[in-house]
Structure 1
């Protein structure tokens, strides 16, 4: 694959990650990581690869924080929490 094709695919995957698809950022990073380690890799390609990694890590932090808050505060939020819960745990 030529460098222009790689850059084009990398850009598309990076911008596609903004559609709430953080897994696409992770795939982008993992797929192009070996390419970015080559000495002749373009700086623009490296930029999109590492921005994809940063976006994926940021989403991971946001989602795990939300999960921790929701699990610990669900009972206190009452009916509102039950409305946004897909499966309501029994017993509480």
Structure 2
């Protein structure tokens, strides 16, 4: 794959990740990390610095975006699990499975 194709694919994954697909940002950052931040000794690394610069930007932003999404999802899951019983009917409406027993 040429350097321009790598940058183009990385850019596409980054912009598609804005459609609430944090997993795609994670894949983008893992997949292109060695091309963006590699030492340049391998033949698979991006050869030109003009292609490496945008790759670094997209990979860095993908890492930041996926980290923000992961923190937000963990915060929501923790809040929901701890407060669902206190929310009464609203918590039940948000639940797919309503647990039996005393909360």
Shorter-chain TM-score range: over 0.9
Q: Which has the larger radius of gyration?
A: 2
Counterpart in the other structure of 1:8: 8
TM-score (norm. length: structure 1): 0.93
In structure 1, C-alpha distance between the alignment counterparts of 2:32 and 2:74, rounded to whole Å: 26
Moved more, 31-40 or 66-75: 31-40
Match of 1:45 among 44, 52, 55: 55
CA shift, 1:37, in A, is 2.1
- Residue 44 of structure 2 corresponds to which residue in structure 1? none
> 1: distance between equivalents of 2:70 and 2:23?
10
Q: TM-score, normalised by structure 2?
A: 0.84
Report how far residue 10 of structure 1 moved. 0.4
Structure 1 residue runs of 5 or longer lacking an equivalent are none
How many residue pairs end up in the alignment? 92
Q: Take 1:91 and 1:2, find their aligned partners in 2: how far apart are those partners?
A: 60
Give 5+ residue unaligned stretches, structure 2. 41-47
- Runs of 4+, deviation exceeding 6 Å: none
